[in-house]
Each structure stands twice: as C-alpha cells, then as structure tokens.
A and B are shown apart, each in its own frame.
Chain A
Amino acid sequence: MELGSYSDQSKSTFSLADEDHTLANAVRFTLNQDPRVTFCGYSIPHPSDNRVNIRVQTTGDPAREVLKDACQDLMLMCQHVRSTFDKSVNDFKMSKTVKDMDIK
C-alpha cells in the first residue's frame, strides 16, 4: 500500500503488511546506497501490528520505482550471496574429502 501525493511522486510512504525489521532494515540499506535517494527510513507503528512503514524521498524519480529498484538490488545481492556460499561449501567439502584420502 502506498501513501503519497499524485502531484509529487518523489515522496511516498509504503506500508508493507506481514513484514518486520528483517526486510525493512535490509531495504533501507539498499535504498541508502542509491544516489537518487535523499531520505529513507522505516518504522513499525505498533509492535503488535504486523506492518512496517517505509518512507522514501528522492531527488525527483518516482519513489515507487526507486523502492522497486532497491528490492531488485537486494534480490540480486541475495542471489550472489547464495551462489558464493554454495560454491565455498562445495569447495570445503571437496578439500575435506581430499584430506581424508591423504590420511588413508
């Protein structure tokens, strides 16, 4: 759900249901990395509400697109983390089997 104005799309608050610090803090990090962002932050209005509000203000681009790009970046980062992690786990398993063979 987006709360903003029609005349100025560069400032918006996005209210995400069923999310918490896990996503909001990570998205805030990727938003901060975007040079188009002048301000971003998030809040959880009430601890028993399953909801976060993410505020995005930009230099001119629509806040919606900037947030979408930030999520896209985060997703690509995650994919890279996953492939790197899988690779080093495989490397570790391989080196371990080689070592075991040396002992025998």
Chain B
Amino acid sequence: MSSSEDESMSEVDEQEEQEKKTKSEGSVLDYIMSLESVPSKLPPHLDLMRTRVFCNNDAPDHTETIQYSGAYAALGVDNSIRLDKFCRNFKVQVNRLTEDDIEFDMMGIDPALANAFRRILIAEVPTMAIERVYIANNTSVIQDEVLSHRLGLIPIKADPRLFEYPENAGNDKNEKNTIVFKLHVQCEKGHPRITVKSNELKWLPDGSELPAEDVKPNSGSKPRTFTSFSCSQDSLPEFSTNPIAPKNLDIILAKLGPGQEIELETHAVKGIGKTHAKWSPVATAWYRMLPEVVLLKEVKDELAEELKNKCPVGVFDIEDIEKGRRRATVANPRACTLCRECIRGGKEWEDRVSLRRVKDHFIFNVESTGSLPPEVLFTEAVKILEEKCERVITELS
C-alpha cells in the first residue's frame, strides 16, 4: 500500500526533523513539510473535529483544543503553531467601539491566550479606587463602614498609568500615589431630605486638609495632615486640563434627613482587581466562540418555513428558487445563541442542521468602568501578560 508507506516515511521524517531542528532552525523543517509525501492537510473529518465544537442535541462534542504539536504526527501533519504561522493567521476585526465598550473579533488564537487576556482584564489591570476614608462627622442613617464601602466602589476617572502603587513609596502618601477627595454635605433643619450623589466628591489637588493630630491652639505652623504632597496635582500637565473626578456623577451615596451631616475625606490609591473588585477596570469582559450553522441537506418549502419559525433569533431565512419553490438559507449565524431549538424534534432535524462553534474565533466584549477607554484596557492587559513572561525569563536566566 503506497499510502501506508507514505505514513511511515513521514514518521521517520518527523524524528529527523526534530533532531535537525536543534542544529539548524527552520529550513530543514520547511523542506520536509514541502515534500509531496507529507500531507499538508488533515483529512476533512479530522480537520473539522480539530477546528469546530459540535453542538449536538444531547451534549457538545469535540470541545477540547488540540494543543500538542505532535498530535497528528502519525499522519505526518504538523500541529505546532510556530510564530510565523501565528502571525500569518491572527486577525482582529473591530465591530463596535464607543466611549466605554468595545466588541471585536479575534481570529486564529488559542483559548488559552484569549482566556489569559480576559482574566487579566478582570483581575490584573490596575485602576484607582478609594481605599481609605477619614470620617470627621457622620450623623446620617448610613453607617460609616457601609458608606466607606459605597465610596470604594465609585469608578474614578484618572489614568492609573500616571500613578504608582502605594507599596512602592513605603507608607508615604504623596502626590504620585494618592488622590484625595473631600465630601461635606449638610441637610439643614426644616429642609426636605436631600440625596448625596457622587458629584459632591470634590478633588483636593493639594492633598489632605484634615489635621492628623490634635491642633495646638495658637500654634502658627500648619498642622500635619494625612498626606505629604510636595506639589499640587493640578500643577502637573496631565491633570491641569483634565481634573480628576468620579466617572459618573449621579451615583447615590446616602440620603440625609433634616439636621444630618456627612463630613469626610477619602484617599484613592492604585490597585488591582485581584485584591478587591473595586479596582477591576471592567464592568464585564467576556468572549464567545463564533457560531456556525450549516444546513447538511436542502430544506425546502413547508420544512423551510418550519425551520425559520423554529429559530427564536432569526438565524434562518427563506429564498425563492424556481417555480414557486422555496429553500431555507442561513442568513445570520452570528445571532445563534445555541438554544438548539432547530435540532429538536427528532433525528431528522439533527440530520438537516448542524450547529457548530469555531474554536479559534472569539467575539470579545470589553465594557470599561471608565478609568481608561476599552481599547486601551485591552492593550494594557496584553502588556501585563508580556511582563509576566519577562519576569519568568529573568528568573530563569
């Protein structure tokens, strides 16, 4: 059998290739892969299993990604993704971009990487959030700790890249690692109740105004405060034109009855979502694989009508073919939610329609909380993964 000979030949080639690869990178490998006896492609059914998840009526099938480079070595097919191949196949297509959310397609990437980006977006991209609250007076019904927690969750419109982590400066609270806000609201007696919103938080570019120790009467010097700013933050070019404030000015913090008052000062510092979710820069960051709907047989006339009506999201459409006959077509596979309604109703439907997902095509959604635009968040996440790799490399060498 010539075909089995080819296979055994290619296996030998594979071993040789590995030995030679250590001596001379690339060229020998490319030569071997270009030989006629080496099949460059998998048989179609195997390729389909490799690249698609099959969403069957009972359970999805072929869900795993085949990462091992030698998975198809016996067939003479190289399953490794070398860098040049990755660079050739990787594509990004932006579908929607607004001030605070982005949707884009990422093609030709393994879920291991796509998931790393998602995890980093949620837990490791830094932002600024309120960490310390100094309460001078709180006579409202909301308790100090509850109020502090609410303050912590307010997204702050300040670029975290311009700040340092507080750990870097010891316990020093300076203009490089702390943003100070003041909140002082009072509901006077005889007035109706008032609602305190996040717009009442006033930025103090010169740092804290609260004295950190008891003020001695008649002492001329300024009392020590909770921060030690060497210069005013609004004198820095980054903030002079773009003052720091909460991103949303209509977040309700508390309600005050007549005679009640809140006076406090808050310090926002840089942190990551792993420590506390208030530092997470995204409201959501998620992806889904691209749905693929394939009609295995022609679906005509009444059946086509039935199929179109089965789908609740309008994936299918009907087109007219000759002599008043109609045929179902797949018009909008992206809308498919994989409810599998179209393959319910007997074996014959499963034979007509095949629901699949493309394993290396991700529809990525990032919704920012407002500290950074969503497209910047994604590039920051990729940078963080690069830094992690760099750390491991320096540790190993």
Tell me the A residues contacting B by CB distance below 8 Å. Answer: 2, 14, 16, 19-23, 25-29, 32-37, 59, 61, 64, 67-68, 71-82, 84-89, 91-93, 96
**Can you pick out 30 interface pairs between chain A and chain B where the beta carbons lie within 8 Å of each other?**
A14-B396, A16-B392, A16-B395, A19-B388, A20-B119, A23-B388, A23-B389, A26-B112, A27-B389, A32-B67, A32-B68, A33-B80, A33-B82, A34-B80, A35-B21, A36-B22, A37-B69, A67-B396, A71-B393, A73-B83, A75-B389, A77-B86, A78-B385, A78-B389, A79-B386, A81-B90, A85-B375, A85-B378, A88-B93, A93-B97
Task: Evaluate contact between B18 and A36: CB separation under 8 angstroms.
Answer: yes
- CA–CA, A91 to B94, complex, Å? 9
List B contacts of A87 (CB < 8 A): 92
The A interface, classified by DSSP as helix, strand, loop or mixed, is helix
Q: Please pick, from A22, A37, A80, A86, the residue contacting B124 in the complex, using a CB distance under 8 A.
A: A22
Task: Evaluate contact between B124 and A84: CB separation under 8 angstroms.
Answer: no
In the complex with contacts A59-B18, A84-B92, A93-B97, A26-B385 CB distance below 8 A:
yes
List B contacts of A67 (CB < 8 A): 392, 396
Name the residue among A32, A68, A75, A86 with the largest chain B CB count within 10 angstroms.
Answer: A32
Name the residue among A14, A77, A91 with the largest chain B CB count within 10 angstroms.
Answer: A77
Closest chain A residue to B385, Cβ basis: A78
Task: Evaluate contact between B94 and A88: CB separation under 8 angstroms.
Answer: yes
Closest chain B residue to A65, Cβ basis: B396
- CA–CA, A46 to B119, complex, Å? 19
List B contacts of A89 (CB < 8 A): 94, 97, 375
Task: Evaluate contact between A85 and B92: CB separation under 8 angstroms.
Answer: yes
What 1/0 mask marks residues of chain B from 359 to 397 whose CB sits below 8 Å from any chain A CB?
Answer: 000000000000000010011001101101110110111
Q: In whole Å, how far is A49's beta carbon from the nearest beta carbon of chain B?
A: 14
Q: Please pick, from B68, B386, B388, B397, the residue contacting A22 in the complex, using a CB distance under 8 A.
A: B388
List B contacts of A84 (CB < 8 A): 90-92
Q: In whole Å, how far is A16's beta carbon from the nearest beta carbon of chain B?
A: 6
List B contacts of A34 (CB < 8 A): 69, 80
List B contacts of A86 (CB < 8 A): 379
Task: Evaluate contact between A26 and B81: CB separation under 8 angstroms.
Answer: no
Task: Evaluate contact between A29 and B390: CB separation under 8 angstroms.
Answer: no
Closest chain A residue to B85, Cβ basis: A33
Closest chain A residue to B113, Cβ basis: A26
What 1/0 mask marks residues of chain B from 76 to 89 whose CB sits below 8 Å from any chain A CB?
Answer: 00001111001100
Tell me the B residues contacting A by CB distance below 8 Å. Answer: 17-18, 21-22, 67-70, 80-83, 86-87, 90-94, 97, 104, 109-110, 112-113, 115-117, 119-120, 123-124, 375, 378-379, 382-383, 385-386, 388-390, 392-393, 395-397
- CA–CA, A82 to B117, complex, Å? 11
List A contacts of B379 (CB < 8 A): 82, 85-86
Task: Evaluate contact between A68 and B397: CB separation under 8 angstroms.
Answer: yes
Name the residue among A33, A59, A79, A86 with the largest chain B CB count within 10 angstroms.
Answer: A33
List B contacts of A19 (CB < 8 A): 388
Closest chain A residue to B109, Cβ basis: A81
Of all A-B residue pairs in the complex, the 7 with the closest CB atoms, nearest first, are: A29-B112, A92-B94, A32-B67, A75-B389, A71-B389, A88-B92, A26-B116
In the complex with contacts A22-B124, A26-B112, A85-B379, A76-B22 CB distance below 8 A:
no
Known: A16-B392, A77-B86. 14 other contacts (CB 8 A): A19-B388, A23-B116, A23-B388, A29-B113, A33-B67, A35-B17, A35-B18, A37-B69, A74-B389, A75-B386, A75-B389, A77-B113, A82-B386, A92-B97
- CA–CA, A14 to B392, complex, Å? 10
List A contacts of B80 (CB < 8 A): 33-35
Q: In whole Å, how far is B18's beta carbon from the nearest beta carbon of chain A?
A: 5
Closest chain B residue to A76, Cβ basis: B83
Task: Evaluate contact between B87 and A80: CB separation under 8 angstroms.
Answer: yes
List A contacts of B123 (CB < 8 A): 22
Q: In whole Å, how far is B68's beta carbon from the nearest beta carbon of chain A?
A: 5
Q: Please pick, from B70, B97, B375, B395, the residue contacting A35 in the complex, using a CB distance under 8 A.
A: B70
List B contacts of A22 (CB < 8 A): 115-116, 119-120, 123-124, 385, 388
- CA–CA, A83 to B81, complex, Å? 19
Closest chain B residue to A74, Cβ basis: B389
Task: Evaluate contact between A25 and B392: CB separation under 8 angstroms.
Answer: no
- CA–CA, A61 to B19, complex, Å? 11
List A contacts of B397 (CB < 8 A): 68
